[in-house]
Amino acid sequence: MAAINRVLRYDGIEDKLDSPPQPTDLTDAFKLPSEQHHGWKFLAFGPDGKLYVPIGAPCNICEPSPNHAQIRRYNPDGSGMEVVARGVRNSVGFDFHPQTRELWFTDNGRDWQDENGPEEELNRVSQPGENFGFPYCHAMGIPDQDLKKANPCEGTTKPVVTLGPHTAALGMRFYTGQMFPAEYRDRIFVARRGSWNRTQKAGYDVVSVKVSPDGKEAKIEPFVTGFLDEGANAFWGRPVDVMQMPDGALLVSDEENGAIYRVSYSR
């Protein structure tokens, strides 16, 4: 469990849910930065057994320190830290492709540059240390309006696809279940929490993204909608994460209502 820079490990927790033990404190081992802004963590173990940890830039737009705006992986004890992705403004969701086992992640674009962008990103990491653009290059090659540099997108990797203007693309998972129709296999479900920095609200839904394993093709389709009333420009739900159940149903968490929904399929 991580809370900003604190890292805690609860051993054998499934058998002790009624009376959790004191955690082992690994904060000093992981040495995460303590800035709170964009500092809250989504964690997951990769197929390589390492713990993957994103660290957001502690700002809307700024030159990040060498310790921010990145995704790291560690051994479970905090040793062996490697930066696997740079130029990541703030990622709150990632998963590993079921076939290629590569890391794919969502990234939230900056505010206050434009009503319609730069859009949130869906990125694929094909080699460790890859640079995804922040702060100079956003989305599909949009230069930052405040931090200027010659050839701002040089040496950076573009997203597989963009996920809408200010929609706050957060939790994502590859679908590997048997319950949904076969066409959903290896698709990505993405929760979009919804915009604050846009006059006309956008997001507030779950989309599915059909992708080729090499990231060259992507198609976005709506999956769970209805939380946003576009006509009234008002919302009543904010999906933030998705998880797949053992039977293949999809769980969706909604922070606005403090709810978790289960989406199932039957013929």
Residues forming contacts to other proteins in the complex (CB under 8 A) are 3-4, 34-39, 58-60, 62-63, 112
5-10's contacts with Cβ under 8 Å and 24+ in sequence apart are 5/30, 5/31, 5/32, 5/33, 5/34, 5/39, 7/32, 7/78, 9/76
The burial class, CB within 10 Å (0-12 / 13-18 / 19+), for 148 is exposed
Q: How far is the CB of 250 from other proteins (least distance, A)?
A: 28
- From residue 118, give the alpha-carbon distance in Å to each of 38, 101, 139, 141, 165: 18, 28, 6, 9, 6
Q: How far is the CB of 39 from other proteins (least distance, A)?
A: 7
Nearer to other proteins, 89 or 187 (CB): 89
Nearer to other proteins, 58 or 87 (CB): 58
Residues 64 and 35: beta-carbon distance below 8 Å:
no
Residues 242 and 191: beta-carbon distance below 8 Å:
yes
Q: How far is the CB of 62 from other proteins (least distance, A)?
A: 5
- From residue 257, give the alpha-carbon distance in Å to each of 31, 193, 195: 34, 12, 17
Q: How far is the CB of 229 from other proteins (least distance, A)?
A: 23
Q: How far is the CB of 135 from other proteins (least distance, A)?
A: 11
Query: What CA–CA distance (Å, rounded) separates 210 from 97?
Result: 12
Residues 209 and 190: beta-carbon distance below 8 Å:
yes
Q: What angle do CA 218, 142, 221 make, to 5 degrees?
A: 25
Q: Hey, what are 235's tokens? A: 């919302």
Nearer to other proteins, 38 or 86 (CB): 38
Nearer to other proteins, 45 or 196 (CB): 196
Q: How far is the CB of 90 from other proteins (least distance, A)?
A: 10
Nearer to other proteins, 31 or 185 (CB): 31
